[in-house]
Structure 1
Amino acid sequence: MLSWIAAKNLFWLGKDMPGAAHFAFLVISIFFAAVTFLQFVVEFEDAALWDWEDKGKSVSQLRLDLELAEERRILEARRLTPSPVERQASYKERTPAEVDRLRRESRYYRRVHLWMQWLLFFCSAGITAITAWYDPPQPGKGVLIVLGFTITVITGAIGYFKPRERAFNLQQTADSIEQNVTALDLGIAPYVQTEAANLELFATTVENMRVEQRKREQQLDQPHQGRQEVV
């Protein structure tokens, strides 16, 4: 409804709004009203469209059930705890998923960094173009203020969040873990011992890499002075 009123005052102030626009806003308003009504019915009506599985249980009872289930899980895990070699083999099988996760996060931060850089380029070029086009910079003064504010915010965000450095560290860790997985599968150095020794060395190496990755992320979260003290 507010969008309907805003569109009328912005585009058709002092004149009649077209019937097609009225009809479009009317249809959208009816749709959202129907969806809101359905949501209230599902949430608050006793005879809802379906019954909730835990309906009638108190929060304290749910917490007690969760604690009991956790205790049963711990007892069962202790009874069925596999040998270290089996756990290391299972760890090795889960490593490709960890590599995929690191690569996805690396691509995400790389895309964020690229979008920020392109936005900086366009804003900087826009300031130069508008300043050259308007002399004095009117009516482009407001646009210049917005572009300058955007550049300041993006520059501060890049310096604080450091998406490029995060993407590089994640990609480097993923490549190192993948290299160790390949070496273990091929039986090449440093995995040239027995299977149990190779699995133990592999698990130790990968865990050290993950610890180093977490340390690098923590260093990126620290202020510049704090990072110098850590180094």
Structure 2
Amino acid sequence: MSTPSTTTTDVLIQHRRDIADLKQRIKNRRLQVLGLCGTPIFLALTLLAWASLKIFIWLDSDTPTAINGVFFAIAALSALAAFAQFWAEFYGQVWEDSETSVRELRLDLSLAEEHHILETRRHTPPSTDRQASYKERLPPEVVRLRMESRHYRRLHLLMQWLLFVTSAAISAVTAWYDPPQPAKGVLICLGFTVTVITAAAGYFKPRERAFNLQQTADSIEQHATALELGIAPYNAPDEAQNLELFATTVEGMRAEQRMREQQLDQPQQGQQQVI
């Protein structure tokens, strides 16, 4: 027999599924409307271009067979695609939201989100339960931080190796070709590559981003381990107090990580003012 807590959880999960389904339906409907409107327009533009070529270029002669074949194939495919989409929309009932506007789906999504908020507020669990579930949601966040850290670290290493190789190649090509007239194009390309890599590394700062993400992930994992083992600073007799301290500490770390990312996105002068 299901308990009230289990029933409430199932209802909230079903609300999330309905919201995700509506979002996907809105994306699909946008593509369908784009095809319904865009395919006839593309067909009309193709026919107009075909006629314009005949009038302005081959008015007194026959249009080449290859040109006629290409435009005929494009026009035929566009007409077939337009017919198939109109049939699916108005007659075939193939699409789930046929003859439904995106505006109506957005309204349904807003109502579903509002209903989910009201149900969540009505069945809000105690703060201790929310803090305990917050601890269980942290491992995916740590994995995400580590993945982003590895991404920026690899990007930094790639940029550095490209910088090393191109810088060394400039000296090697200059020494090999003296005067460097036969390799002038190669030197220009290598110099351009060095400039672009140096500017990109200074602007995007992948090394700093990788370090900050890795540091935040390690700190969160350290605090999660300390809470799990019941060691300082989470060795209080009251478990609720430990969970509250843990949630407060981790949220502070995440806020600090977001602040560091914002500082890296700012120009150098702006970073100095923030610091």
TM interval, shorter chain, is: 0.7 to 0.9
Question: Please, what is the CA RMSD of the aligned residues?
Answer: 2.1
Q: More relative contact order in 1 or in 2 (CA 8 Å, sep 6+)? A: 1
Instruction: Report the Cα distance in structure 2 between the residues aligned to 1:216 and 1:121, rounded to whole angstroms.
Output: 28
Instruction: Report the Cα distance in structure 2 between the residues aligned to 1:96 and 1:110, rounded to whole angstroms.
Output: 21
**1:134 and 2:177 are equivalent in the alignment:** yes
Residue 143 (structure 1) shift = 0.7
Equivalent residue, structure 1, for 2:142:
99
**1:150 and 2:193 are equivalent in the alignment:** yes
**1:213 and 2:257 are equivalent in the alignment:** yes
Residue 192 (structure 1) shift = 0.9
Equivalent residue, structure 2, for 1:228:
272
Deviations 1:72-130 (A, max 9, x none): 11111111111100110110000111100100000000010000001001111111111
**1:109 and 2:149 are equivalent in the alignment:** no
**1:81 and 2:120 are equivalent in the alignment:** no
Equivalent residue, structure 2, for 1:123:
166
Aligned length: 196
Instruction: Classify the secondary structure of the residue corresponding to 1:45.
Output: helix
Q: Which runs of 5+ in 2 are unaligned?
A: 1-72
Instruction: Report the Cα distance in structure 1 between the residues aligned to 2:164 and 2:154, rounded to whole angstroms.
Output: 15
Residue 69 (structure 1) shift = 0.8
Instruction: Report the Cα distance in structure 1 between the residues aligned to 2:170 and 2:202, rounded to whole angstroms.
Output: 22
Deviations 1:140-190 (A, max 9, x none): 100100110111011000001100000000000000000000000000000
Equivalent residue, structure 2, for 1:24:
none
Q: TM-score, normalised by structure 1?
A: 0.79
Deviations 1:26-74 (A, max 9, x none): xxxxxxx9xxx59x74995344599221221012211211111111111
Percent of aligned pairs sharing the same letter = 70
Instruction: Report the Cα distance in structure 2 between the residues aligned to 1:145 and 1:67, rounded to whole angstroms.
Output: 56
Instruction: Report the Cα distance in structure 1 between the residues aligned to 2:210 and 2:93, rounded to whole angstroms.
Output: 45
Q: TM-score, normalised by structure 2?
A: 0.67
